[in-house]
A and B are shown apart, each in its own frame.
Chain A
């Protein structure tokens, strides 16, 4: 049975208030086309899971679509801070579940192993655990060592942009997979967007995401732009600068253009 659908229909299945894990990392292979469609359909009160977010999270902050963010980093690296995320947090409109990238990963890993929490190394002394309550301490039952643990995070939906997928939902990522393979296993539902959808009899590379985990697959050419999708296209730096100079105008242009 084909799982192929349109990006509009795939987004249509997302409930307001859903907990979404967004694949990709920073400005790379993030599901930007999907994010535009979330905004176009006026989704609200979303919570996001992302190790390092940039344009995806900031766009949703601009559209006032998010209630909370579980993330290690939200920013544009050398391009600067994430202006709308920053404003949303400072105004108290967005709740931050303060993580490091590694603790987001650990929380997702707990879900894929079917356990309620995951021990994690490297947070002794940071203010992160005490202030946020996201990292707690237990005594290791074997060594009696004080050990940090993070609670399992189970996304309602993982949205992952990939290079190639087939109609059964098998999907291939070129290069760095970031957290996407973990997200695909941790989430209750998986939606794949892909630069290209092929016949499942014609694979020449080995997909890493097996179709049985995937509920829907939608074509999204240039679906990570103006971020990159290696090796097909790099970051469009001019577009990123344009966004940061006037996010609202950028968003309106994108939404209007895709309606035509």
Chain B
């Protein structure tokens, strides 16, 4: 029986294309990306914020975006300026994001809880989030879901989703055809409705319920007419995943 974390990582891995470039963060995004490399997407290009491009780690997993394992067997290693300008020039199709808060349109907050000038909780800040969210074609958001994280109103908009609905990204001058693509939580996999750009349940993990979707969100989540249960992880996916994280750094 796969754990919630394993299901989330495997679901993210399946979303990645056979080739193309993905901006990788630590933790679940990294495991999902390396899992994709080892399963269906051997030509996927992993790009790390710290400067590593095309790394294919063989031993222990990198646990930070700037450590040297991120460019093991890689194509090149440059600077953060180098990899971030790849996104600015439109070379990175997929990005991963997370956050302390998300709203119905996939806008994210990683900056503060409470008022920015007098924060209740000071969070790490944007990092590469604001530009990844602005510039990548398809962003996959991985985070745990509960009512405090899924909020009606963000305390700070760090990384833009669809703002308040369709056309809003374009109106602000963000590149066309970019934005949040999927949100993966312990409960299910969400997309954004093409007409409203609101978060919509597409797939539910086995063992979860439609009630749990709503109970764990402060905003109303639409349910797609053709929603289904997510396919269970295969033996191969689970074995590969466990081999990647033998020390349980991410999987626990």
Residues of chain A whose beta carbon lies under 8 Å from any beta carbon of chain B: 25-28, 51-52, 71-75, 77-78, 81-82, 85-86, 89-90, 92, 96, 98-102, 105, 109, 120-128, 131, 145-146, 175-182, 228, 230-231, 234-235
Contacts and interface: CB of A to CB of B under 8 A. Distances in A.
Nearest to B84: A102
Nearest to B128: A101
Nearest to A182: B81
B173 interface: yes
Interface of B: 26-27, 49-52, 63-68, 70-71, 77-81, 84, 87-88, 111, 116, 118-131, 133-135, 156-160, 163, 168-169, 172-174, 249-250
A199 to B, nearest CB: 27
Contacts of A27: 64, 66-67
Given A28-B67, A127-B116, 12 more contacts: A74-B125, A77-B64, A78-B250, A86-B122, A89-B119, A102-B88, A102-B128, A105-B81, A123-B130, A125-B157, A125-B172, A126-B157
Contacts of B126: 72-73, 98-101, 126, 128
A126 B158 contact: yes
A28 B81 contact: no
Given A51-B80, A176-B66, A72 B128 contact: yes
Contact of A86 (B52, B77, B121, B135): B121
Contact of A176 (B77, B127, B133, B135): B77
A105 B80 contact: yes
A62 B81 CA distance: 29
Most buried by A among B63, B67, B124, B249: B124
A172 to B, nearest CB: 14
Nearest to B170: A124
A100 B26 contact: no
A127 B158 contact: yes
Nearest to A177: B79
A98 B172 CA distance: 20
22 contacts: A28-B50, A52-B66, A72-B127, A72-B128, A73-B126, A77-B64, A78-B249, A86-B121, A96-B122, A98-B125, A99-B125, A100-B126, A101-B126, A105-B80, A124-B160, A124-B172, A127-B156, A176-B66, A177-B51, A179-B81, A228-B67, A234-B67
Contacts of B172: 124-125
Nearest to B163: A125
B81 A109 contact: yes
A153 B225 CA distance: 52
Nearest to B131: A122
B65 to A, nearest CB: 7
B127 to A, nearest CB: 4
B125 A176 contact: no
Given A25-B50, A102-B128, A177-B51, A124 B81 contact: no
